[in-house]
Chain A
Amino acid sequence: METDTTGFIKTKKNRSLMWFLVPITVYLLFFFLYPVIYDIYISFFDYRLGSQAQFVGFGNYRAMLNDSQYMGSLITTMVFVVAAVVAELVLGMIIALLLNNEHPLMQGIRTIILIPTVFTPLVAGLVWKALYHPDLGMYTYYLRKIGLDIGRGLTVERSSALFSVILVDVWEWTPLMVIVILAGLKSLPKDPYEAAMLDGASRLQIFFRITLPLLRPTLVVALLIRTLDALKIFDIIWAITGGGPGTTTTVANLRIYEVGMQHLKIGYAAALSNVLLVFGVIAGVFFVQSLYKGKEA
C-alpha cells in the first residue's frame, strides 16, 4: 500500500489529516509520558510524602534486589499471569469450539456466558469472597460435602489461596477469550477445510494443521491484551484475600500499592513499578513481534 505511486499521491492529499493525531499525542505526552518520566526520575530519590527528596542514585534498585517481599511478589505475579492466561486460552478455545454452531441453545449460552466479563471486578471479587467463605460459603460447603480436604477454606490455606484467586480471573476473562476466538473462527476461509476433508484428515489434524495456524493473529491479540491486564491484577485479589494468607497472593501491583500509598515511600514505589513496567514492555514487544511475523508469513 505504501510503495506504489498512488500511495505517494494519497499521502500528499491526506496530509491535513495529521492534525487528527495532535490531540492524542498531546494528551499522551502530558498524561502518560510525563508520569512515566517522572516515575523514572523520582525512582533515583529517597522520597517520602511530606519530606525532602534525597538523591540516592540506584539505591532504590539495589534495595529492591534485597527486598524479598517484592521479589516474592514478582514470582507470584508470574505464576498468576502464566497460569491464568494459559487456562483462559485453553478453556476459551475448548468452549469456543463447543459453542461454534448455530443451534439456538448455543446462541443463548453465548449471550449469557459473556456476563462475567462485564462484571465489575471488585463486585466479582466480593461475590467470590462470599462463595469461598470458610464457614458459610457455598463452594466451601459443597467441596467439603463431596469429600475434598480444603482445610480451613480455599482462601485461608496457603496451598490453595493463589489457585482460588486465579480461578476468579479465569471466571472473569475466559468468556472474553471465547468471544474473540468465536469471532475469529467465523472469519476463517472455508477452502482449506474442504481440501482437508477430501484428503480424509482427522478432526485433530484439521484443528492443529489448519484452525490453529489460521487463528494465530486472533490468538496473539487476545493473549497480548490478557497478559498485559493480568500483570496489572489488583481488584480481585484486593477484595478476596488482600494479598494473604501471609504473602501467598501478594502480586507486584499489591505490593507497590502498599509501599507507595500506605507507607508513602514514593521513590521506592516508583523504582518497583518501573521494574514491573519493563516486564510489561517485554511482553508487549514479544507479542507485537510475533503478530508481525504472522502477518508477513
Chain B
Amino acid sequence: MAVAGYTNGTKYTLWTLRTLVVICLVIFFMLPVVWILTTSLAQRIAMFKLPPQLFSKPTWKNFSYIFTQMPVLTWTLNSLIISLGTMVLSLIIGVPAGYAFSRVNFTGKRLLLIVILLTRALPTIVIVLPFRVIMQSIGVLGTRFAVVLIDTVYNAAFTFWLMSGIFESIPEDLEEAARIDGCTPIQAFLLVAVPLSKPGLVTSALFAFIFSWNDFLFALTLTSPDTATLPLGMLSTYGVLQQGWTYMAAMGVVAIIPVVTLSLFLQRYYVSGLTFGGVK
C-alpha cells in the first residue's frame, strides 16, 4: 500500500516503529521456545544462578538421565499410539461424512451440523465423567483405546467440519464426469474427490495428531500408569524433582519436537487447509 503524502522522515519513523514492534513480538513468542531448548541442554547448577542465564555450557546429561531413569520411551510410545489411532479413526469417520454433507441435501442437515458443532462447545469435563463410566462398563478403562475413543469424539467432528468446507470448494463436475465414465459414487469419492482434497486431508490429519498428542485432561482421567502419555509423565516428574527444570525441559523437548517439526514441515498445507475449511 502506498503511503501517499508522508514525508521521508515520517516514513522512516514508521518503519523504525514497525521493526521495533516486530522484534518485541518475536521475543515474546520465541523466548519460551528458546528457554526450553537451552534449558534442556543446561547443567542443573546453571538454573540457580542470578541473573538467569539463557545460555550456558551445553550437556546431554539431561536427556540421557530421562531416558535411562524414567519410562520416557514408554510414555512416548503411548502418546504415539494414541495420536496415530485418533488420527486414523477421525479420518475414517470424518472424511466420508464431510464429503456426503457437502454433496447431499437432506432434511435435518442444519440439525446435524449444530449437534456436531456442539461437540466443540461441550466442556471437556462434561464428557469425561460419564465416559469413564462407559469405559469401565465395557472394560477398557485405563487402556490406550479408551483415550483414542474420547479424543476422536472431539476430532472427528472437527475433521468433518473442515472437510465439508474443503469438499464444498471442489467443483462437483469432475466427479460427475467420472460417474458418466461408469464410476460408482464411492469410486468417484475415493478416486476423484479424495486426491483433490489433499491440503484438507493433511490439515485434518495433522490437527487430529496434534490434538491427541497434546491432550492432558483425557489422558489424566482415563489412563493407568502403564498407558500414561508424555504430558502425564512430565507432570509426575515435575512434582517429584522440585527444581528439576533441566529434566522437565528435556522431557518437554521430547514432547514438542514431533509436533513442531511436523507442523513446520506441513505448514503450507496446514495454512491453506485452515482457510478453506474455516471460512466456508
**What is the interface of chain A, defined by CB distance below 8 A to chain B?**
2, 7, 10-11, 13-21, 23-25, 27-28, 31-36, 38-39, 42, 94-95, 98-99, 109, 111-124, 126-128, 130-131, 136-138, 141-142, 145, 171, 174-175, 179-180, 182-184, 186-187, 197, 203, 206, 217-218, 221-222, 225, 228-229, 231-232, 234-235, 238-239, 252-253, 256-257, 260-261, 266, 269-270, 273-274, 276-277, 280-281, 283-284, 288
Asked if B84 is at the interface (CB within 8 A of a chain A CB), the reply is: no
Tell me which residues across on chain A come within 8 A of B221, comparing CB atoms: 261
Q: Say how far A227's CB is from chain B's closest CB, in angstroms.
A: 9
Can you name 23 A-B residue pairings with CB atoms under 8 Å?
A10-B172, A14-B185, A19-B100, A27-B156, A35-B130, A35-B131, A36-B127, A39-B129, A98-B21, A111-B264, A113-B25, A113-B30, A119-B33, A122-B231, A123-B252, A138-B54, A171-B28, A203-B3, A218-B278, A235-B231, A256-B125, A257-B125, A273-B129
Tell me which residues across on chain B come within 8 A of A186, comparing CB atoms: 275
Measured between alpha carbons, how far is A235 from B217 in the docked complex, in Å? 7
Contact of A180 among B48, B189, B249, B274 (CB under 8 A): B274
Contact B124 A123 (CB under 8 A): no
| With A118-B256, A171-B28, A225-B120 already in contact, 14 other A-B pairs whose C-beta atoms are closer than 8 Å | A14-B100, A14-B185, A17-B104, A27-B153, A31-B149, A120-B252, A123-B231, A123-B255, A141-B51, A145-B51, A183-B275, A256-B123, A261-B221, A273-B123
Contact B118 A284 (CB under 8 A): yes
With A114-B264, A120-B255, A123-B36 as contacts: A98 and B22 at CB distance below 8 Å: yes
Q: Mark B94-124, 1 if CB is under 8 A from A, else 0.
A: 1011011101111000001011111111111
Tell me which residues across on chain A come within 8 A of B227, comparing CB atoms: none
Contact A222 B278 (CB under 8 A): yes
Asked if B145 is at the interface (CB within 8 A of a chain A CB), the reply is: no
Tell me which residues across on chain B come within 8 A of A252, comparing CB atoms: 123
Q: Say how far B108's CB is from chain A's closest CB, in angstroms.
A: 10
Asked if B43 is at the interface (CB within 8 A of a chain A CB), the reply is: no
Contact A21 B100 (CB under 8 A): yes
With A20-B99, A95-B25, A120-B256 as contacts: A28 and B157 at CB distance below 8 Å: yes
Tell me which residues across on chain A come within 8 A of B18, comparing CB atoms: 98
Tell me which residues across on chain B come within 8 A of A121, comparing CB atoms: 214, 216
Contact B275 A35 (CB under 8 A): no
Tell me which residues across on chain A come within 8 A of B29, comparing CB atoms: 112-113, 115-116, 171, 174-175
With A11-B105, A127-B36 as contacts: A118 and B263 at CB distance below 8 Å: yes
Tell me which residues across on chain B come within 8 A of A222, comparing CB atoms: 278
Tell me which residues across on chain A come within 8 A of B117, comparing CB atoms: 284, 288
With A175-B29, A231-B123, A280-B122 as contacts: A34 and B256 at CB distance below 8 Å: no
Tell me which residues across on chain A come within 8 A of B255, comparing CB atoms: 120, 123
Q: Say how far A79's CB is from chain B's closest CB, in angstroms.
A: 17
Closest to A129 in B: B238
Tell me which residues across on chain A come within 8 A of B114, comparing CB atoms: 288
Contact of B131 among A13, A31, A109, A238 (CB under 8 A): A31
Q: How many residues of B sit at the interface, in one of the four size bands?
A: 35 or more
Tell me which residues across on chain B come within 8 A of A15, comparing CB atoms: 104
Measured between alpha carbons, how far is A123 from B149 in the docked complex, in Å? 24
Contact A120 B231 (CB under 8 A): yes
Measured between alpha carbons, how far is A186 from B275 in the docked complex, in Å? 10
**What is the interface of chain B, defined by CB distance below 8 A to chain A?**
1-3, 18, 21-22, 25-26, 28-33, 35-36, 39, 47-48, 50-52, 54, 92-94, 96-97, 99-101, 103-106, 112, 114-131, 133-134, 149-150, 152-153, 156-157, 160, 172, 179, 185-186, 189, 210, 213-214, 216-217, 221, 230-231, 234-235, 238, 243, 245, 248-249, 252, 255-256, 259-260, 262-264, 267, 271-272, 274-275, 278-279
Tell me the dominant secondary structure on chain A's binding face.
helix
Tally the A-B contacts, defined by beta carbons under 8 Å. Answer: 285
Measured between alpha carbons, how far is A256 from B127 in the docked complex, in Å? 12
Contact A23 B92 (CB under 8 A): yes
Q: Say how far B275's CB is from chain A's closest CB, in angstroms.
A: 4
Which of B120, B126, B245, B255 gathers most chain A CB within 10 Å? B126
Tell me which residues across on chain B come within 8 A of A142, comparing CB atoms: 51
Contact A126 B252 (CB under 8 A): yes
With A123-B255, A171-B28 as contacts: A14 and B213 at CB distance below 8 Å: no
With A98-B18, A112-B30 as contacts: A136 and B47 at CB distance below 8 Å: yes
Measured between alpha carbons, how far is A201 from B153 in the docked complex, in Å? 49
Measured between alpha carbons, how far is A94 from B133 in the docked complex, in Å? 46
Contact of B263 among A24, A42, A114, A288 (CB under 8 A): A114
Measured between alpha carbons, how far is A24 from B101 in the docked complex, in Å? 11
Tell me which residues across on chain B come within 8 A of A288, comparing CB atoms: 114, 117
Shortest Cβ-Cβ A-B pairs, 7 listed: A280-B121, A20-B100, A20-B96, A183-B275, A35-B130, A273-B126, A38-B130
Tell me which residues across on chain B come within 8 A of A23, comparing CB atoms: 92-93, 96-97
Measured between alpha carbons, how far is A172 from B81 in the docked complex, in Å? 25
Contact A234 B124 (CB under 8 A): yes
Tell me which residues across on chain B come within 8 A of A283, comparing CB atoms: 121
Closest to A113 in B: B29
